[in-house]
Amino acid sequence: MTIRVLVADDQQLVRTGFQMILDAQPDMEVVAAVADGAEAVAEARRLRPDVCLLDIRMPRLDGIEVTRILAGPGVENPLRVVIVTTFDLDEYVYGALRSGATGFLLKDSGPTLLIEAVRAAAAGDALVSPSVTVRLLQHLAQPRRAAPPPMNDPLTERELDVVRLIARGRTNQEVAAELFVSLSTVKTHLGSIFAKLGVRNRVEIAAWAWESGVVS
């Protein structure tokens, strides 16, 4: 199966570079390369790519707003978005992930991490640049001003085990191995967790886990 990718960046050199890296992979194809946010939204809606790679700062609509439109809360059939930017600022990281992005990479992360992030997003997993992950988790681990509201349908102990491992960056395969269960069982647990928490991706599961004190 070929992973269809949309690239959006206002710098032609970056767009060309990403396209060359991704098109060189046997399982990837760049189906659109655009220079601004409005065009990214239009092409993403028209082509329905498997993964959208977005820069933060773009003309007309920035990457966070594009993410919110394509993958944010309330969006039907959300697309998978990975933010790739030079701007290593916390407000961008949190804004992107809260808007529905499934990954956040710095442009100097290198081609290997870029390819891994696209594959992870296509598979429903999340990949965040290691330097960003440390700060993100430190931020989310800060005490909340108020305890989260009680859940109508609390997570089971096994679902909490899955949540803890997801929050520590484990893949589905690693979760299955550590809990001695099948991959299909992990996916079933994840489906239940998504429904109970009202979230749509692993980043939001991790955020909930750290904010609610399930992991520390």
Sign of CA dihedral 137, 140, 143, 149: negative
pLDDT at 11 over 70: yes
The more confident residue out of 135 and 38 is 38
Write the single-letter amino acid at 122: A
Q: What is the pLDDT of residue 73?
A: 78
pLDDT at 147 over 60: no
Q: What is the mean pLDDT of the chain?
A: 83
The burial of 153, by beta-carbon neighbours within 10 Å (0-12 exposed, 13-18 middle, 19 or more buried), is given as exposed
pLDDT at 120 over 70: yes
pLDDT at 66 over 80: yes
Read off the pLDDT of each residue in 135-145 and give the average, rounded to a whole number. Answer: 52
Q: Is the pTM of this model over 0.85?
A: no
Give per-residue pLDDT as tens, 148-185: 566 678 899 999 999 988 877 777 888 899 999 998 99
Strand partners, 34: 8
Give per-residue pLDDT as tens, 202-212: 777 877 887 78
pLDDT at 101 over 50: yes
pLDDT at 29 over 50: yes
The separation between CA 27 and the C-alpha centre of its own chain, rounded to angstroms, equals 20
Helix axes of 111-122 and 12-23: crossing angle, nearest 10 degrees: 70
Residue 145 confidence class, pLDDT cut points 50, 70, 90: very low
